[in-house]
Structure 1
Amino acid sequence: MSSEEESPVAQSALSVQRGAGVPSTCGQSVLQDAMSLTPLDSTEDRVQPFPRSPQLQRRSAKAAPPTQEQLSQRVEELQAQKTKTEARIQSLKKRRADLATRTDVMKQQIHAQFEAMRAVLKQDEQAVIETLDIDMKRTREMLGQVLKTWNQHLHQLSRTISITQQAVKDTRTAAPGGQMEDKNEIINLQKSDGAEENIRLDEERFEKLVQMLSSVCKELRAQLQRKNLLLDLLPAVVDPQTCHPQLNATSDGKGLFYRAACSSPEHPLKFDQVCCGLGSAPLCSGQGYWEVDVRCCSSWAVGVAYERLERKGRDKGSKLGRNRNSWCVEYRNEKLLAWHNDRNMVCHWVGVGRSRLSRVGMWVQFDKGQLVFFDAETMSVLHSFSAVMTTVFDRAHHQFTEPLYPAVRFIKPDAQEWPNHMEFCHRTLPL
């Protein structure tokens, strides 16, 4: 190869060698390095400057095309999912179709029950009306008999007057026997005059009946109102880990007894100074209803509380209604008060003046922030806490933000012994 035909790289290497006076060995090494470079259009395998990273290798593995076996398996899985989805859709369609049928059946059953109640009321109404008609007919017959007797007496008097007048005209007197007979008849009718005043309807009996029906109507109205609440009845069970050491839970967990001596060991969740206890199951959403039997307790507090209610000490943070974490109604010294956030309000109790409350009902609408206390016997509202009915400043106090636990407290009354027993009611609609 001539010098004119040398590559440009070789010519540049020679020019550098001549101009710079570098030894020939160095020029030859540079030339060899230049000649050893791989052309860009070479068909040989290219050498990577560094090995691939693990992430790049994973991407390459994922990007690899699936095999025929993998594709077949994937198709089978999709077919199985499709079959399950179709079966699920058919099941939902069937449930939707059955929903209307079941609703109609339930409506018919409810309608039949109310029709039976109306039939009983109609039958009882008819029986009472028939009794009233019988009494009216009997009284009318007695009055008719008396009226007939008086009509006969009037006829006799008219006849006697007529005879007497005729006798006066004839200047004759009536026979002594006839006069005596008329007098006797008049006297006998006068004696029967007092008995006529006793002929009347049995009004006293029917007044009692009206009062009884009024009482039944009030009780029925209360029971009909109560049935909706009992449908939301939550079976509360006492959590023994939260009860004061002097409180004992019954074997079924429904009731609490007070004992003078401590009967349970200390626990971080226990109330150590205030005789309180909480239920084990909270209400987190929706609505629920609890009932507490307080007949065997002389002073008490019944309500709901957050779990973070303080358990230690005797300050306001651990007493029901004396803080923002609890709501209650409290009966002490013959007074019934509703407490929350250390404020109290007198309850509108229609039973003031009678013995005492027997059962207290608590109805919670968690999402609406509403809590209503009832007299569970008459279903009269004792007090209502509501976020809607309060001012803006107090509204946050009644907007429930945590699960609510049923809570009870035994209160030591003034100049009396400690109360004994309270119990959560679990019964449903009365039979």
Structure 2
Amino acid sequence: MSDKPVPCDLMRPSDSPPVDTAIKASDQPIFSVLSSGGVKMKEARVLAGLDCTGGDGGSALTTDSESGIFSGECELCEDHEAELDWFCDTEQKLVCSHCATVGPCRAHALIPLSARVSSLRNHLVDVCEKIQLQALRVERFIQHTLTDKEQKLQAAASRAREQVLSRVSAAREALEEEEQRLLEAVQREEERVEQCLLTQQVHWKQALTSLNQTRAGLVHTLTHTPDTQLAISAQDISERVEGAEGVGEPCDTEQLEMKSSCSDSAMLTALWATAVLLGPNADRTSSFQFDARTVSPLLSLSEDLFTLTFTNRKSREPCPYDPARFDSWPNALGSRPLSSGTHRWVLDVGQSAAFKVGVCHATLERKGSGDEARLGHNLRSWVLSNYDGEYSFWHGGRKVPLHVVRRPRRVGVLLDWPTQTLLFYEPESNVVLYSLTDSFSAPLLPACAVTDRSITIVH
């Protein structure tokens, strides 16, 4: 017998159907395919022991149905020239019965070849069925789910476009109407002031003419009237003087100034604030620290200069005298003056039940317990105040109560110097708490006061 292994004949019999018609995974299950090809799978049998008494040390030969789908001559062991009818699971190779009983593989884990082949074929059948089912699921997913998703996507995109166009159109229409209303209000105010100016000009020109005439007449009387006639002209002179005095003194009035309220618009302010707070530069906040020189002895300042904490009497430490320090009110100012551009900053007020945030002139009084050094109680400071849940805006000692739906954990301040606008808002929702337009004649400093817990500049 030759030492070379005898190859198995794997050629398809001439009477068997073509491969492309015998196996078509997308049309039918794999078991049906195998059955239609004239092959019947047989469940693998598990053998509990080895038969070592057979002739030539070999085991019973496997039948075609036990060995697998294809039949033919099998390879022989090179050492014993016996049929390779066992599988060594330890070394993952085929061996003969001699190798399995007395050879090098006698102590290894051995499996009959028929059982090994049957198990692998069954595994392949399971794998092919799973792949077939997965392919069907993929096909259904493509045909149904993705198609439905595409249709829903187009419908959703169309609705979104319509919504955007509708909302922008409504906003544009409302803004155009507001623009027209405000321009008309400005025009009316301009015409009113112009009419006042014209009236004043006519009045005072007539008064000026009258005064000049009266003066000229009195000068003529003084220089050309004989003494005897002048002595009896006292009544006439008195009437002329009284008429001149009746002209009165010219004075500037509010009627000659254009009212800034004519251009005030809650809608326009809200849109402007939305553009600033939610626009492309929304994340740009102005960074500053508290100026340690200004911090009141009633407060303590963190090492990073961002947090102010109200201190009780026992823990207060004496502070060196500084003309910039507040000595009576629990105030502190920012380190950088603001006199141009747009600036916004956020303060974490946490659970503090008593605080003030806003801006003030650098010339604000620092000493004493009077209103001149108290934030919001003078004309040099503008602050939003919270006292035990009661929110209000203070300026010049006047209080404007605010309706706050939800107690904010953070308060934002927006200062737009070109439009002289100061705005307070709630950063999480960008809800405007209060806004105003004023004339800031001097640079402003961020200003804070706290008498409960602490507040922190957020970066």
Sort the TM-score into its range (normalised by shorter chain): 0.3 to 0.5
Pick the structure with more helix per residue: 1
TM-score w.r.t. length of structure 2:
0.39
Flag the structure with more relative contact order, 1 or 2, with Cα contacts below 8 A and sequence separation at least 6: 1
